[in-house]
Amino acid sequence: MKLGMDTDYLKRVFLYFCAAVLTVFLMFYLCYHLFNGFASEITTEMALETSAQDTLTLEGYLFRDETVVHSSFGGTVDYAVADGERVGIGAVLARVYAASDDGSIRRRTEEIDEQIKLLEESNISEGVVISDTTATDARIDSLLYALRDDLEVGRLDYARHGLDGLLVQLNKREIITGAVQNYNDRIAALEAEKDTLTARLSGSAQQITGTHSGYFFYGVDGYESLFDTDALGTMTLDDFAALKHAEPRQSSAGAVGKLVEGYTWYVAVPTERALLDRFDEGGLYRLTFPYNYNTALEMTLSRIVTEHEREDAVLIFSCTTMPEGFSYLRVQNVEITMRAQSGLLVPEEAVRIVDGVTGVYVLHGGKVEFRRIVILLQRDGDCIVDAALKAEKDETPFLAAHEHIITAGKSLYDGKVLN
């Protein structure tokens, strides 16, 4: 009898326990679904108007009105003007000595000219207020990283030019920190050494004078007659392609430099036809030249070269500014700041492709709806989409300002009703 009572009691306890577990499970189940039924399953972000610019890095080809200056002697050159200096008609540009045994003197005078140029660039103008080395140290770091990158990919011309810029910044730091006052004494000593070496030159000398006014540059590259500005007005895409692959024309013996007429020079930049909607002929654009220590210049888009059914194009920019110390390397990278794009800001994670159509889902009156978009610019995890597009009747509407874009959510589809 007692054993039976104990069995009934245990059965009741077991049943109570099971009922309690089941009740807890049912409560949890109901709460979970009630919570998810009333709580938001999605996150949204309002579509707001914005504007942004983008930078395009391409290869630029420099065009100038250049006339090569020659000497019939072909000997040691003693320049009378600085590299890139403005000269008048009849100005003495250089003296060339005919002796053939003065090679070591010529090489040393060239080294002196380079050192003087770097030291002159290193001097800080009087009246400039110097507070600390922060800006200079930042430029030094930037040049060091750029120099490392150029050496890694074998761009030796860029590396050599970058090394000169690094030396200039290190010298300026010496002035800022008070280690030296200026480099005038060192420049004077180098000029005296050059005068002494020049006096030792033997043989007859030829004096080279300018046939016209302009800017005189020491170096020649053999492309002076090819990359001529007269060709830009009628240049076709095939003409430009031929120039890109042309071999330099050998300058005759005794070339000592070149005269550049006028202030206007040009940069021709090959690009894709698809990018042309970002450019307006006649507009002003900022072009940055990494090879020239990121010098930035405002340039006019003088001409867009394009042809029917061709996917390539050429942008021709012009400039009337000739910065001091600027290197006119014939081919160098150019960073173009394109026209600002204005539209609606859309997070990339919200963009979806439905039945081949690019768009986003929005929350409208408790219902999910699909909106078409046309992306104008995409960067840093966001898109700028066209805000001016209007759909025709019975077409899927385009995204409008202030609509709530769904950035996260599951099982979304057009017409889905949310509690």
Question: Token pair of 275, please?
Answer: 């990018």
Q: How far apart are CA 100 and CA 94, in angstroms?
A: 17
pLDDT score for 150: 84
> In this predicted model, what pLDDT tens digit does every residue of 241-266 receive, in sequence order?
999 999 988 666 688 999 999 889 99
Q: How far apart are CA 201 and CA 327, in angstroms?
A: 30
Q: Which residues contact 32 (CB under 8 A, 6 or more apart)?
A: none
Q: How far apart are CA 349 and CA 353, in angstroms?
A: 12
According to the per-residue pLDDT averaged within each range, which of 324-328, 342-346, 413-417 is highest? Answer: 342-346
Alpha-carbon distances, residue 49 vs 264, 359, 360, 396, 402 (angstroms): 39, 17, 16, 21, 9
pLDDT score for 93: 95
Q: Is the Cβ–Cβ distance between 79 and 64 less than 8 Å?
A: no
Q: Is the pLDDT of residue 108 over 50?
A: yes
pLDDT score for 133: 81
Our CA angle for 284, 290, 295, nearest 5°, is: 55
DSSP states of 230-286: GGTTT--HHHHHHHHTPPPPPPPTTEEEEEE-SS-EEEEEEEEGGGGGG--TT-EEE
Query: Is the domain defined by 43-50+342-408 classed in CATH 2.60.40.1930?
Result: no
pLDDT score for 1: 41
Residue of 113, 97, 83 lying closest to 207 (CA atoms): 97
pLDDT score for 203: 64
Residue of 336, 124, 114, 346 lying closest to 218 (CA atoms): 114
Phi/psi of residue 172, each to 5°?
A: -65, -35
Q: Is the pLDDT of residue 419 over 80?
A: no
Q: Is the pLDDT of residue 403 over 90?
A: yes
Question: Token pair of 308, please?
Answer: 């029917």
User: H or E segment at 117?
Assistant: helix 103-122
pLDDT score for 31: 58
The structure tokens 């539209």 sit at 343
Listed by start position, the domains of the chain span 1-38, 43-50+342-408
Residue of 106, 109, 81, 397 lying closest to 259 (CA atoms): 81
Q: How far apart are CA 310 and CA 247, in angstroms?
A: 25
Predicted confidence band of residue 178 (pLDDT cuts 50, 70, 90): confident
- Of the ranges 124-133, 215-224, 340-349, which one carries the lowest mean pLDDT score? 124-133
Predicted confidence band of residue 380 (pLDDT cuts 50, 70, 90): confident
pLDDT score for 37: 47
Predicted confidence band of residue 346 (pLDDT cuts 50, 70, 90): very high
- Of the ranges 139-148, 218-227, 304-313, 384-393, which one carries the lowest mean pLDDT score? 139-148
Enumerate the β-bridge partners of residue 310: none
Q: How far apart are CA 291 and CA 334, in angstroms?
A: 9
Q: Is the pLDDT of residue 169 over 50?
A: yes
Q: Which residues contact 371 (CB under 8 A, 6 or more apart)?
A: 359, 360, 361, 362, 396, 397, 398, 399, 400, 403
How many residues are present in the chain? Answer: 419
Q: How far apart are CA 267 and CA 290, in angstroms?
A: 14
pLDDT score for 257: 93
> In this predicted model, what pLDDT tens digit does every residue of 351-376 receive, in sequence order?
999 999 999 999 998 899 999 999 98
Strand blocks (E) in 54-193: 55-63, 66-70, 76-79, 85-87, 92-97
In percent, the amount of the chain with pLDDT more than 90 equals 48
pTM of the full structure: 0.68
Predicted confidence band of residue 177 (pLDDT cuts 50, 70, 90): confident
Average pLDDT over all residues of the chain: 86
In percent, the amount of the chain with pLDDT more than 70 equals 86
Q: Is the Cβ–Cβ distance between 127 and 176 less than 8 Å?
A: no
**Other C-beta atoms within 10 Å of 78: how many?**
21
Predicted confidence band of residue 310 (pLDDT cuts 50, 70, 90): very high
pLDDT score for 149: 85
Phi/psi of residue 417, each to 5°?
A: -95, 130
Our CA angle for 80, 81, 85, nearest 5°, is: 165
> In this predicted model, what pLDDT tens digit does every residue of 98-107 receive, in sequence order?
765 566 777 7
pLDDT score for 324: 83
The structure tokens 């300058």 sit at 251
> In this predicted model, what pLDDT tens digit does every residue of 7-66 receive, in sequence order?
666 666 566 666 666 776 677 666 555 545 444 578 999 999 998 888 899 999 999 999
pLDDT score for 320: 95
pLDDT score for 401: 95
Q: Is the pLDDT of residue 329 over 90?
A: yes
Enumerate the β-bridge partners of residue 345: 384
Residue type, 355: D
Q: How far apart are CA 279 and CA 272, in angstroms?
A: 12
Q: Is the Cβ–Cβ distance between 345 and 47 less than 8 Å?
A: yes
